[in-house]
């Protein structure tokens, strides 16, 4: 054992504090190491959790192989340690500094010159750029330059997302009802200007342009502002088909500041009433800062998927879905909950095989993300559901028997994907529902992006018959005095047919 686990092994650091314990620091992976059956305890320390296994059950050495796997194995009681605050404290501090710099010249709006300088500093635009905006004509030219296949896919995705969003819009309407002496109701109207963010760092995400801008248009917003750093041709084309009025080639906190406060100077731009879209930790931090000054959809951070599966699932399919999320970003998370230990092992092996087959930089990105990804063996599907509800994942896949029943039993998630064929990636690319979904546990209190994020439900009331409203007036006088608000009571009494109290 001393020879096998010598400190020079590039996958582990090992010490022998005594003859009965062996501590292995797992970073990032150790697989297929033959063990001699000895009466020792093995303590594994991963970047997220540490746990100890004995050489007698529950550790089985029947095969003589200890397979650490590419997914960290976490016991159910440790899962709560994985739930993270969606706002990174350091990113929050940095975002505040960026916003302060951008507003220093004007005091209220973002200064156009300062924004261009910041955009250059962070690589959003080339160092010789004279503007951070792209015209509608340039976006149209990009759309026309696409291949027939690419253009067709973009048009199809646009059509499905638009149809779903328009159906959502039709689901809520103006209404009115009778009240004593009159009518009351609500109106449904869109905000005036929507700010839409689409990531553009590691990979171009034109699908996020469609998901955000098309939804805002379907809600009825008059002005749509789009921001995406270093936009690729396909991203510009998506901006055209989505009907963006302004296209800013900026990202991070600087993009959120520009949309929240508006831009003053060479490239004027109005402030937005609502800002939406996924992004990195600086985007999320900046959205938390401007929330209140304008509306935001959610604090959407790094992408995550959680798969609940039983022995009926196909290991290769589940592995492919875990990798699809892991390749998004080095801080993305893929989580596996299963009742089958064998399936977890099979999925783990498939993840290793499939991730190695990815091109770069996808392979390196996925491998880094998988360091904070994990698998949990649960006692039952009900146990899986409980853990999933605690995590409130962005994407929740169900690959079990009676998948729809299991899915309907889950309470907290961003988007639900039921059955083997309902791949989460189909949701990414425009099956219809929006792919901008809550992450970091925020699915416990909010849902995904929809037309409702851009709509205002405003109530009204009217009294036509003062005499018929007297019962309501009397109730208001009584309640106001119960609350100690004499001014309220006297305002109600001014509408009373009875003699009001004057002292």
The residues carrying an active-site annotation are: 394-395
Cis peptide before 58 (omega within 30 of 0): yes
Beta bridge partners of 336: 307, 375
Residues 6 or more apart whose CB falls under 8 angstroms from that of 21 comprise 40, 41, 43
Q: Round to whole Å and give the CA distance between 466 and 458.
A: 24
Neighbours of 203 (CB within 10 A): 13
Q: Round to whole Å and give the CA distance between 338 and 447.
A: 25
Q: Round to whole Å and give the CA distance between 134 and 205.
A: 17
Q: Round to whole Å and give the CA distance between 383 and 404.
A: 17
Residue 18 CB-density burial (10 A; 0-12 exposed, 13-18 middle, 19+ buried): exposed
Alpha carbon dihedral 325, 330, 332, 333, in 10-degree steps, equals: 90
Three-state SS for 264? strand
Cis peptide before 136 (omega within 30 of 0): no
Q: Round to whole Å and give the CA distance between 60 and 50.
A: 19
Q: Round to whole Å and give the CA distance between 310 and 2.
A: 39
Distance of CA 487 to the CA centre of its chain: 46
Three-state SS for 53? strand
The residue assigned the tokens 């028997």 is 401
1, 77, 362 from 72: Cα distances, Å = 23, 14, 20
DSSP string, 410-457: ----SEEEESTTS-HHHHHTTSSS------TTGGGT-----GGGGEEE
């Amino acid at each position: 054992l001393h020879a096998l686990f010598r400190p020079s092994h590039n996958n582990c650091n090992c010490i022998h504090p005594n003859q009965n314990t062996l501590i292995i620091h797992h970073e990032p992976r150790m697989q297929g190491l033959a063990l001699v059956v000895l009466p020792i305890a093995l303590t594994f320390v991963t970047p997220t959790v540490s746990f100890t296994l004995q050489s007698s059950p529950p550790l089985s050495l029947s095969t003589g192989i200890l397979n650490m796997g590419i997914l960290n194995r976490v016991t159910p009681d440790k899962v709560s340690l994985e739930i993270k605050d969606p706002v990174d404290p350091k990113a929050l501090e940095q975002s505040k500094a960026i916003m302060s710099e951008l507003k220093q010249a004007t005091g209220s709006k973002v200064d156009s010159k300062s924004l261009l300088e910041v955009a250059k500093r962070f690589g959003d635009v080339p160092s010789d750029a004279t503007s951070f905006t792209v015209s509608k004509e340039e976006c149209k030219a990009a759309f026309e330059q696409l291949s027939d296949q690419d253009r067709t896919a973009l048009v199809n995705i646009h059509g499905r997302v638009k149809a779903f969003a328009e159906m959502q819009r039709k689901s809520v309407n103006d209404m009115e009802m009778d009240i004593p002496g009159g009518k009351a109701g609500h109106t449904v109207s869109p905000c005036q200007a929507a700010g839409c963010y689409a990531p553009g760092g590691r990979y171009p995400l034109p699908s996020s342009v469609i998901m955000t801008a098309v939804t805002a248009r379907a809600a009825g917003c008059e002005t749509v502002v789009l921001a995406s750093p270093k936009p690729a041709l396909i991203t510009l084309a998506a901006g055209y088909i989505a009907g963006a009025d302004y296209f800013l080639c900026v990202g991070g906190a600087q993009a959120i500041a520009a949309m929240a406060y508006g831009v003053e100077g060479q490239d004027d731009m109005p402030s937005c009433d609502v800002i939406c879209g996924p992004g990195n930790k600086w985007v999320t931090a900046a959205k938390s800062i401007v929330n209140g000054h304008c509306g935001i959809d959610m604090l959407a951070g790094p992408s995550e998927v959680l798969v609940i599966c039983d022995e009926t699932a196909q290991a290769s399919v589940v592995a492919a879905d875990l990798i699809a999320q892991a390749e998004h970003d080095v801080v993305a998370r893929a989580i596996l909950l299963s009742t089958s230990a064998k399936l977890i092992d099979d999925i783990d092996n498939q993840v290793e095989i499939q991730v190695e087959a990815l091109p770069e930089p996808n392979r390196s990105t996925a491998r880094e993300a998988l360091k904070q990804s994990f698998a949990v063996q649960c006692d039952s599907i009900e146990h899986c559901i409980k853990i999933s509800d605690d995590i409130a994942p962005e994407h929740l896949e169900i690959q079990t028997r009676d998948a729809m029943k299991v899915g309907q039993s889950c309470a907290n998630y961003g988007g639900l994907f039921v059955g083997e064929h309902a791949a989460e990636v189909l949701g990414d690319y425009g099956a219809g529902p929006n792919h901008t979904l809550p992450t970091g546990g925020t699915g416990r209190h909010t849902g995904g992006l929809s037309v409702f994020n851009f709509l205002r439900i405003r109530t009204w009331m009217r009294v036509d018959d003062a005499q018929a409203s007297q019962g309501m007036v009397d109730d208001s006088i009584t309640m106001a005095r119960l609350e100690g608000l004499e001014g309220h009571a006297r305002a109600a009494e001014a509408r009373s047919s009875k003699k009001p109290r004057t002292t």
